[in-house]
Structure 1
């Protein structure tokens, strides 16, 4: 079995051994990155490989998976001239979070904790619960009050213990982190654990393969905690360093206008969050994160790519959800944020791909 890479803190350089259950930097309590710089395989060598995200084995920090549910390789369909959608809601648990959760469960299985804990507004918790069930790992998921009943049902049916926390999304995260500090606990954090980002980056590796070894001008990505965007940035860097793409696409980050701390920081020209963003009601609950722990990394990734931030209003989210449904695609409100932000022509003539991240069945139609 290939040795696991060590982790390190991108802020102060503190290193964390591969076998440690530590979930954050012991010095600053910040998220960790992975000491791992793979070289992607050439396009022609991918033919005939397993039809899941594990076909990009050279780029993954874990090999020979035992808990896969066939995640990845989702369809790419055209929405309008120059803009296509990647249907990442067609995953085993109906959201893109399966890309990262499978790596977290695989890692936990190898580290052998007494139990796994996670926090979520719904989709990540569902995904972690499903893959822990597949791995035979005991799992507890912390969610805030008001989480969609359908998502709670999914988590419960996979056998995870549900802990409904009074308060908002941040309160659920705090409760999970307190549990994660207990001995023998593996924190399956889609924010703090870098393995999750190395799972989400396969979204871009798939695009590159499906587009015949190229990428669109713009990758439009929804951003709350930024796990898909940071994974996309990793994949773009890997492909470019290997000479497999000659230019890097711009990263356009989309937030709900109701809760947009990163878009606000961007507008201020800041390198980090500015002031305090209050939690507000929004149909895009999955990206309503007032204080994303990887804010500096997200802002830097967008800036370095030549991208920008966009926001989507509640009306835009509702209209975009119904518009996609009229095209045969029923996607939850969070998952339509990117289409809501760009469908009225802000991209001009540039080519782009938007991800449809979660199935509409998870939370129903925005606004009833």
Structure 2
């Protein structure tokens, strides 16, 4: 039986296109696609009855019919970090980052479209995830990365059989090179930014939080934001769950202080973000000077009643050491949310609300943070939360 694939729609000019024949971006404005897909809120949502992967939420996902690409991704645990704050350990995914959630969707979509090759661009984690899932799907893969990308990440891509193209310059240069390749015939652009199927994979992060908290969500979701793929996926899930009667949380977006175009636009009350200088920062995974989905990210945060926070590299280093002292070794970008709302953050950014934040990339991918000391034992004197108090986020 042939199942129709939901089509693309441009959020700016409403252009529509068939997924099987569409270019990788809107042909009128050059912007990223959205997906013409809304799950039926009356359809059963019973993840406990599904497979041991994010496909357990199949009724809320846009790829109908039987799937074949999976590495049992998803189902990552929630652990308490502080009173009323939990972390979701997405660095325990098959390729050690949350990007597996979107990559499995793109690989399954590409398998159905049967292109000659798959191309992607990445500063590391997305490319690694796409390489792994293309290997699982039996698809040839090519990943464009900026110079300076962690060798541990490029080694992982090559181990999965991907051809790695190191592009002189920064993240934007790698993206431009990949998009030139994507314009060639027979190429599927597995873009975690431009292809909306990726966002429908990352939304399972929130569906799992909902499942783990017994059918509810915390009062705030704290999310790192560069291109916004996790936040926009979270916003999709929040909207979809709200149609099922679930109270929506505020979205608290975190950016690196050195590269924070969205935070600046939010503070100025702007609907779009102006590009900023690509300055060095430890949080390379969210150092995006000109996010293509900036308007959508800003609108989603405002609609939720949320806000933007920024963190300097000194706070990232301290938060990473603190997490390591709690048994959680993550890469610098993954420490951004804890730096923004943890015990060392100034003031009370959460205002007493219950919250969940992601630890979305493993420390082994990047090694010690530099400049600064390697992660060591935590010196925090803050009370460790009681792991038996599973009701802390329900209050």
Whether TM exceeds 0.5 here: the answer is yes
Match among 153, 161, 180 for residue 151 of structure 1: 153
- SS in structure 2 opposite 1:153? helix
Q: Deviation at 1:40?
A: 5.2
Q: Which residue of 2 is the match for residue 333 of structure 1? A: 332
Helix, strand or coil: the match of 2:4? coil
Structure 2 match to 1:346: 349
| Residues 201 and 289 of structure 1: CA distance in aligned 2, closer, same or farther (over 3 Å) | same
Is 2:171 the counterpart of 1:177? no
Does structure 2 retain, via aligned residues, the 8 Å contact 1:190–1:227?
yes
Match of 2:368 among 362, 365, 368: 365
> 1:322 maps to what in 2?
321
- 1:88-103 mapped onto 2 (5 Å cutoff): 88-103=90-105
Aligned length: 365
**2:46 and 2:57 in contact (8 A); partners too:** no
Decide whether aligned partners of structure 1 residues 124 and 108 sit closer, same or farther in structure 2, where only a CA change above 3 A counts. same
Task: Give unmatched runs, 5+ long, in structure 2.
Answer: 375-395
Match of 1:256 in 2: 256
Structure 1: gaps (5+ residues): none
SS of residue matched to 1:47:
helix
Match runs of 1:299-314 below 5 Å = 299-314=298-313
Q: 2-side partners of 1:18 and 1:236: how far apart? A: 25
Partner of 1:265: 265
5 Å matches for 1:133-148? Answer: 133-148=135-150
Query: Structure 1 residue aligned with 2:203, among 201, 216, 226?
Result: 201
C-alpha distance in 1 between matches for 2:24 and 2:105: 15
Deviates more, 1:23-32 or 1:41-50: 41-50
1:44: how far off? 7.7
| CA distance in structure 1 between the aligned counterparts of 2:332 and 2:71, rounded to whole angstroms | 25
Deviation at 1:294, TM superposition (A): 0.2
- 8 Å Cα contact 2:222/2:358 also seen in 1: yes
Provide the TM-score with structure 1 as the length reference. Answer: 0.97
Output the CA distance in 2 between the equivalents of 1:106 and 1:40.
24
2: CA distance, partners of 1:47 / 1:56? 9
* 3-state SS of 2:258 partner: coil
Q: CA deviation at 1:42?
A: 7.8
CA distance in 2, matches of 1:4, 1:44: 20
1:124 and 1:86 map into 2 onto residues whose CA distance is 19
CA distance in 2, matches of 1:154, 1:270: 39
1:1-368 residue pairs with structure 2 within 5 A? Answer: 1-39=2-40, 45-63=46-64, 64-243=66-245, 245=246, 247-274=247-274, 276-343=275-342, 344=345, 345-367=348-370, 368=374
- For 1:175 and 1:41, the matched residues in 2 are separated by 43
The C-alpha deviation readout for 1:269-323, integer Å capped at 9, x for no partner, is 100013x310111110000000000000000000000000001110100000010
